[in-house]
Amino acid sequence: MSVTEELQATVADMVDGRRGVLAADESSGTIAKRFQSVGVDSTEEHRRFYRSLLLGTEGLGQYVSGVILFEETLGQRDDNDSLLPELAARAGIVPGIKVDKGKGPLPGAPGDMITYGLDGLAERLQGYKEQGARFAKWREVYPISPSNPTSLGLTANAEMLARYAAVCQSCGVVPIVEPEVLMDGDHSIERSAEVNEQVWHEVFHALHRHGVVLELMLLKPSMVTPGSECAKAPPQQVAEYTMRALRRAVPAAVPSINFLSGGQGPEEATANLNALNQLWHAPWQLSFSYGRALQEPALHTWSGDDSQRSQAQSALLKRARLNHLAMLGEYTEGLESESP
């Protein structure tokens, strides 16, 4: 199979109009905070058990087409000695891998950030492929302030995303491109829309310069929402502002837009996705790539008590099903009260 055929097969397996992506790629620091919130120590065994709980959820493949894993998870096994990427694949879920190495300040652009991890990426991707990964994810973050993101912040982050995506495609790995505009702050939804549109324009200019084939990548953007210190916007408003910015900046060649939840609660993220899919026909699949907004009910149900495994899996399956319905524009708040 050629590199292009590999990429096409992965996109076909992940983009089918009814399923999304589970983000289970929390870094060691992030998952430690999540576990701490439910009184669980972040040991290797707890992480293995929890992630095998997620991937072992019967029926998850009906609603989830891909899972983003942390590097540690690629080599972990469930209680039946199955490698976790194999567990996902057997359920019809494509395994993927987070490949960036975290972020730090961008020199010359006070307040902006830049992500690390390009060195040796091609070699790492070959190793990840051997462990079962078929797609990758790289995240750049953009704070909003009166002076951020700067012009340098916009161009430097776009360049990193494009270089990453080009390396992935050269290795036969589908890139998920994640430019996250942070919710932190008191900015208006209008300011959020302005920044998101600027970010997406820069990203796609860079992708074009680097020869990235748009049909063979996925986009994982933020939804356009007010800052977290402001009152929440209703789903219809989020959908209208988000769609307007997307139509101005994102080429129709991109097969799927898998939104990140970015601090939204589970019900909020589902309602906003539903509103987007009810608004009008889009040239892209509008889907999800949620972490906390999919996992949170399952994590709180489990809370380190292994006897709650099946109940936690039911909670995860319910959230996945509701987001599947949101992709179809068929979600209603009344569904939240149904038993998992």
Coil vs helix vs strand at 254: coil
The residues near 298 (Cβ < 8 Å, ≥ 6 apart) are 53, 54, 312, 313, 315, 316, 319
Angle at CA of residue 125, ends 142 and 4, nearest 5°:
95
Task: Record the tokens describing residue 177, joined without a space.
Answer: 């491109």
Strand ranges (E), the chain: 20-24, 64-69, 94-98, 103-105, 113-115, 135-142, 174-181, 218-219, 256-259, 285-290
> Please, which residues bridge with residue 69 across strands?
24, 97
Q: Which of 6, 98, 202, 220 is catalytic?
A: 220
- In the annotation, is 137 catalytic? no
Task: Record the tokens describing residue 14, joined without a space.
Answer: 């992940």
Q: Which of 64-88 are b and which e, b meaning 16 or more Cβ less than 10 Å from the residue's Cβ?
A: bbbbbbbbbbbebebeeebbbbebb
Compute the chain's Rg from CA coordinates.
19
> 162 and 209 in contact (C-beta within 8 Å)?
yes
Coil vs helix vs strand at 77: strand
Q: How far is residue 322's CA from residue 302's CA, in Å, rounded to a whole number? A: 20
> Please, which residues bridge with residue 290 across strands?
22
Q: Which of 6, 71, 178, 296 is catalytic?
A: 178
- In the annotation, is 178 catalytic? yes
Q: Where are the alpha helices (DSSP H) in 69-178?
A: 71-74, 84-90, 121-130, 151-170
Q: How far is residue 252's CA from residue 93's CA, in Å, rounded to a whole number? A: 25
Q: Which residues are catalytic?
A: 178, 220
